[in-house]
């Protein structure tokens, strides 16, 4: 008896329609690679008569997603609806019914991943989610498998194309945030309500997923310190340029050694200045890239399109082939790996570096006063650049590494000094020596 | 009864010693990730008393590799000896004895991969080889698994660090090949006998492995058209600069559509000019990178250290964890995928573009004569740049796409023209529009 693989797709938007297209167009190759024909048995949509980018055979479309995942002849469910509900209920139902699941749902995984992983474990089925981070770029599989014999120490990711496009425009044209956002919206790189992107929610979800895999620990979106790019100014971008750097919104996941051999994890999303010589600095427009540092492998970078229907569908189909092979062999792939169970450091204890630009009175002793403020909080200074102007001066200070709490207290201290007219730019510095 | 995973390592040079170190230092993490303790049961070396970079417990070292792989208590053999024999015999013996194998041996895989894959298939065991291409950079697993639902159309790789270091030096300092090679040798980036690197043998082996995986077909080293970098001159590098390009030694694997729906494969290694805006252009020093184009995912790049003991060992250990999990679950990972069985195009039929620089007599009608030579061979010209000098002139011509045979015939034709004093530079152009 020849086995066939039966697939249901939940959602037929920009990603879902491309998944369906690839399932149809690549049927021959998929069968050869999986080892059995892959049949599309249903596509759940909100409206049957909505316009779609793909032809779907009669009888496959349904508005009853719950009934589709409850069918006992479905081997594999692809969830590309997005959002928390009904996606979570549908995925849990699919697993309970014995189907394996491939999803692109970063928000759900970052909010409630453990519930899904436990359900998959209990059901003895696979839950794969490569498409949830950085679109087509293979990054979860390398973290989970290729680097499984190594110790990942840091992940720096440009994982949101919208904000990278905006920051790249600000860098190349000198535009302010609002102007660059409008251009991104005009070109379709930003949505009408850009909150999820520009406030860093999207990147924070991806940071949680990356940190969980990299450090074999459970990290959820609520563990991620998050700052968006809405307050990045043209002056910040210019100040970065002046020091040979560029501003990027980074998802940063770090392993921090602790006192008693216990290491912890720092996970955050914020704009940061990185040197132009850093491989991430040359990631332009809406591209994504993830830079990984590990003890044995050294520095790796993964680069490509971080979004879009077809690229995301490519990642979904890659997972689908792996999961389908597992279904045929009646095996599971590796499940959640959270054995290390590391604690997540509060942002205040996270070690970073600050770039601070200050307008000060142009008189003798100013630098000494400022340097004293840094020293008082235990922050040592790496470089100071002083620029005189008519009757005032600008100081640009880059610190050495200190805790974020020390650095923030230093900035508060500076704001209260008589000789400081204004703190004009505060931004963290990443990607260089500490 | 608690299962333990028993590993034998063949070879204890720069890679082997790092594999042993990681097996020892990461034992706790490996056990958690594999699901069982991983025991090192033997290390085969040539000389017991050679100095080593790692401490190895008494009784583990042996000079009898054949006896080590014949032991019936070994689950997994790591082969990091390199070369064709005795590596091939040892790997085949290990598989026959029921062990799975992880190897970094590009030369053997490129020469005789099918023999190994068939032996693994017959034995029902795994043969993994991520470390054979581009050191620590996860590239084989992404090609084999992440892109399994997509159609890869092109792979462009900088997969030899020695030649990239040499070409980068030539680019940054204006040095000639010999001078740059000597610097690379002084810094340990090139061996005393640099033939395998500078003549492209190493890159050609990797190209064969990449093409086999990307196009689901058997491609061996003998199928790869190979040209090294020994004839790249400072003038070539300058000529590339003048057109905003850089010279790189590329491993190029392309899917070429055929007349009757049958596609074929073109695989070659040669120096080429690529635009400085191409992501591969910024790969400096001895780093490696692999640029992948696929129908749905678009353009991806994987970047990192392409060699070195620890990075290569990281890739070996990643494979080891996957294979060890398979051993415990009594299953195999995906084996060879050669179902597409595509033919390899001869180099003459491969489509490429040429950059040709010619010293010509500085007189009227020269450009027409040269243009006529291109037209006669059916090659259309994209750009011509003419530079007058004292009594002669230099023409720099970049062609549109044509077969290599057409382009080569054009260059021969040019060499025979009276008005041509010398063809000073001929190089293929890649990474741009056709």
- In terms of Cα–Cα distance, which of A46, A95, A33 is closest to A69? A95
Question: Locate tokens 């100095």: which residue?
Answer: B51
Question: For B157-182, what is the mean pLDDT?
Answer: 97
Angle between helices B27-34 and B14-25 (to 10 degrees): 80
Q: Residue B266 and residue A353: Cα distance in Å, rounded?
A: 49
B318 part of contact set with chain A, CB < 8 Å: yes
The mean pLDDT values, 10 residues at a time, for chain A of 434 residues are: 89 96 96 96 95 90 97 96 97 98 98 97 97 95 96 98 98 96 95 97 98 97 98 95 95 91 94 95 95 97 95 97 95 92 95 95 89 96 84 90 96 96 94 72
Which tens digits make up the pLDDT trace of B206-224?
999 999 999 999 999 999 9
Phi then psi dihedrals of residue A7, to 5 deg: -120, 135
What's the gap between Cα B230 and its chain centre?
Answer: 18
Q: Which residues of B are the active-site residues? A: 206
SS3 A325: helix
Q: Which of A146, A172, A294 to probe by mutation at the B interface, max B CB count within 10 Å?
A: A146
pLDDT-derived band at B365 (thresholds 50, 70, 90) equals confident
Which tens digits make up the pLDDT trace of B274-295?
999 999 999 999 999 999 999 9
**Which pLDDT value is given to residue B433?**
64
B145 part of contact set with chain A, CB < 8 Å: yes
Structure tokens at A240: 């970065």
Per DSSP, the residues of B394-425 read EEEEEE-SEEHHHHHHHHHHHHT-TTEEEEEE
| CB–CB contact A150 B298 (8 Å) | no
Across chain B, what does the average pLDDT equal? 95
Is there a catalytic annotation at residue A206? yes
Query: H helices of B249-305, where?
Result: none
The single residue of A122, A206, A241, A259 carrying the catalytic annotation is: A206
B315 part of contact set with chain A, CB < 8 Å: yes
Domains, chain A, ordered by start: 5-135+310-329 (3.40.50.720), 140-305 (3.30.360.10), 347-429 (3.30.70.260)
The number of CA neighbours under 13 Å toward the Cβ of B409 is: 14
**Which pLDDT value is given to residue B390?**
66
A230 part of contact set with chain B, CB < 8 Å: no
Beta-carbon pairs below 8 A across chains A and B: 182
SS3 B75: coil
Which are the contacts of B171, defined by CB distance < 8 A and separation ≥ 6?
B237, B240, B241, B246, B247
> Which positions in chain A touch B297 (Cβ < 8 Å)?
136, 304-305, 310-311, 314-315
Residue A188, classified by CB atoms within 10 Å of its CB into exposed (0-12), middle (13-18) or buried (19+), is exposed
Which tens digits make up the pLDDT trace of A60-69?
999 999 999 9
Per DSSP, the residues of A16-79 read HHHHHHHHHHTHHHHHHHHTS-EEEEEEE-S-TTS--SS---TT-EES-HHHHHH-TT--EEEE
What's the gap between Cα A38 and its chain centre?
Answer: 31
> Which positions in chain A touch B146 (Cβ < 8 Å)?
130, 138, 141, 315, 318
Question: For B112-134, what is the mean pLDDT?
Answer: 97
User: Is the separation of the CB atoms in B206 and B159 below 8 Å?
Assistant: yes
Q: Has residue B2 got a pLDDT over 80? A: no
**Which pLDDT value is given to residue A389?**
67
Query: H helices of B230-306, where?
Result: 234-242
Residue B85, classified by CB atoms within 10 Å of its CB into exposed (0-12), middle (13-18) or buried (19+), is exposed
User: Is the separation of the CB atoms in B69 and B11 below 8 Å?
Assistant: no
User: Is the separation of the CB atoms in A199 and A221 below 8 Å?
Assistant: no
Per DSSP, the residues of A299-319 read EEEEEEE---HHHHHHHHHHH
Q: Residue A397 and residue A417: Cα distance in Å, rounded?
A: 16
- In terms of Cα–Cα distance, which of B240, B248, B231 is closest to B285? B248
Q: Residue A406 and residue A426: Cα distance in Å, rounded?
A: 14
Min Cα–Cα distance to chain A from B19, Å: 10
> Which positions in chain B touch A340 (Cβ < 8 Å)?
29, 32
Of B295, B317, B331, which has the smallest distance from its Cβ to A150's Cβ?
B317
Which tens digits make up the pLDDT trace of B418-431?
999 999 999 999 98
Q: Residue A259 and residue A93: Cα distance in Å, rounded?
A: 44
Of A22, A149, A339, which has the smallest distance from its Cβ to B26's Cβ?
A149
Per DSSP, the residues of B106-168 read HHHHHHHHHHHHHHHHHHT--EE-GGGSSTTS--HHIIIIITTTS-EEEEEEE--HHHHHHHH
Q: Residue A414 and residue A131: Cα distance in Å, rounded?
A: 44
**Which pLDDT value is given to residue A1?**
45
A388 part of contact set with chain B, CB < 8 Å: no
Which residues is B304 bridged to in the sheet?
Answer: B288
Report long-range pairs for A275-281 (Cβ below 8 Å, ≥24 apart): A275/A244, A275/A245, A275/A431, A275/A432, A276/A244, A276/A245, A276/A246, A277/A244, A278/A431, A278/A432, A279/B282, A279/B303, A280/A156, A280/A158, A280/A248, A280/A250, A280/A431, A281/A245, A281/A246, A281/A248, A281/A431
- Helix, strand, coil distribution of chain B in percent, nearest 5: 40, 25, 35
Q: Residue B152 and residue B294: Cα distance in Å, rounded?
A: 4
Phi then psi dihedrals of residue A367, to 5 deg: -60, -40
Q: Residue B274 and residue B353: Cα distance in Å, rounded?
A: 11
B285 part of contact set with chain A, CB < 8 Å: no
Q: Residue B234 and residue B173: Cα distance in Å, rounded?
A: 10
A294 part of contact set with chain B, CB < 8 Å: yes
State the virtual CA torsion across B282, B283, B286, B289 in degrees, nearest 10: 180
Which are the contacts of B28, defined by CB distance < 8 A and separation ≥ 6?
none
């Amino acid at each position: 008896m020849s086995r066939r693989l039966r697939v249901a797709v939940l959602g037929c938007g920009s990603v879902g329609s491309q998944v369906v297209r690839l399932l149809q167009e690549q049927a021959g190759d998929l069968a050869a690679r999986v080892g059995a024909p892959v049949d599309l048995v249903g596509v759940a949509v909100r409206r049957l008569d909505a316009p779609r980018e793909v032809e779907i055979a009669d009888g496959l479309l349904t508005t009853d997603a719950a009934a589709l995942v409850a069918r006992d002849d479905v081997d594999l469910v692809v969830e590309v609806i997005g959002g928390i509900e009904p996606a979570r209920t549908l995925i849990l139902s699919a697993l309970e019914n014995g189907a394996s699941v491939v999803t692109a749902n970063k928000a759900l995984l970052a909010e409630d991943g453990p519930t899904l992983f436990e359900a998959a474990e209990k059901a003895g089925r696979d839950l794969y989610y490569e498409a949830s981070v950085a679109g087509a770029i293979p990054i979860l599989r390398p973290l989970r498998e290729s680097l499984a014999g190594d110790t990942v120490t840091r992940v720096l990711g440009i994982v949101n194309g919208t904000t990278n496009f905006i920051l790249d425009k600000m860098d190349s044209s000198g535009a302010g945030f609002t102007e660059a956002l409008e251009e991104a919206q005009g070109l379709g790189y930003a949505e009408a309500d850009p909150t999820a992107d520009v406030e860093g929610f999207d990147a924070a979800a991806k940071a949680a997923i990356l940190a969980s895999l990299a450090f074999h620990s459970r990290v959820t979106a609520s563990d991620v310190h998050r700052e968006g790019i809405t307050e990045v100014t043209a002056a910040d971008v210019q100040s970065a340029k002046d020091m040979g750097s560029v501003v990027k919104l980074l998802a940063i996941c770090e392993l921090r050694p602790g006192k008693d051999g216990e290491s912890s994890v720092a996970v955050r999303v914020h704009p940061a200045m990185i040197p132009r010589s850093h491989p991430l600095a040359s990631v332009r427009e809406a591209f994504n890239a993830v830079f990984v540092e590990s003890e044995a492998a050294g520095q790796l970078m993964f680069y490509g399109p971080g979004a879009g229907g077809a690229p995301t569908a490519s990642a979904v189909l890659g997972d689908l082939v792996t999961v389908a092979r597992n279904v045929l062999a009646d095996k599971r792939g590796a499940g959640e790996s959270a054995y290390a169970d590391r604690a997540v450091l509060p942002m205040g204890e996270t070690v970073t570096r600050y770039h601070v630009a200050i307008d000060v009175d142009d008189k003798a002793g100013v630098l000494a006063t400022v340097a004293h403020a840094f020293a008082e909080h235990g922050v040592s200074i790496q470089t100071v650049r002083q620029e005189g102007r008519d009757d005032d001066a600008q100081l640009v200070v880059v610190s050495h590494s200190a805790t974020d709490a020390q650095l923030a207290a230093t900035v508060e201290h500076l704001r209260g000094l008589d000789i400081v007219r204004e703190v004009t730019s505060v931004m963290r510095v990443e990607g260089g020596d500490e």
